[in-house]
Structure 1
Amino acid sequence: DQWSLLILRDAMLGVRRFDQYQRHLGVSRTVLADRLGKLVAAGILTREEYREQGERPRWEYRLTRKGWGLQNVLLALREWGNRYLVSEDERLLELVQASTGEPVELALVRSSDGVRIDPRDLANRAGPGLQR
């Protein structure tokens, strides 16, 4: 759902704490707690306790390996939105190489040699799970 995708986006941008999510997203506490709980239950986020001096214990939410596995999905959605939903001057975020600042894009490449593949040249074949 929309809130879960936005939570994942923010987690990949470094947001960790409940109040940060609420401030960034403008979501109700009830909805946010529900979605965070579902993402933790699914193994996409972990919940880790932290305590600032003089404060009660609170929770931080961090992406698991499974959660980071969704990065290409979210990047593809962002790239699609940047291409089809907003003009260039309306883009909020653009993907760049951290070390150079040069723009990058997602691409399909052939596993054997890294050659870029046109999406229209894709096909599916039965995998081991279908061949049983």
Structure 2
Amino acid sequence: MGFKNQLFKVASAITGGVSSFVSVAVLGEFLGSGDIDLILGFLSAGSIAAASGWNTVRLHKQQKKELFQKKQLDILYLAVQNHGQLTPTQVALQTNTPIDETKEILDSLSDAGAMELQVSNKGNLVYTLIDEVYLENHLEKIG
């Protein structure tokens, strides 16, 4: 997990915790006052805030998923450019992506059946593009 993701989760947890504490304290005061309109207004505002927070988390997850899929496509294109074979180090350097994230993406492509993990004669991990027909057609087009 990247530093930004960890920071986002920590900030969300702190904000949520403080917000919950304040909300409970304020609700207790409102309940003590017996003003039903004030209590209902507070609960409505809390529901809207909770829905907004949930929507923000959902959008963050969607953006993260879309970025991951874009990186998968970038790596597949890179594989085609490299005659169907890539190493994790090569991908990390060419895409400026951390090696652990690169390995995760390559493994996901392997799990999806787009690439196959092999070990070279020298003992290096090599991911090979499985769709050889596409690879051959593309290589013929580019010369």
Q: TM-score, normalised by structure 2?
A: 0.43
- Structure exhibiting the larger radius of gyration computed from Cα positions: 2
Structure with more of its chain in helix, by fraction: 2
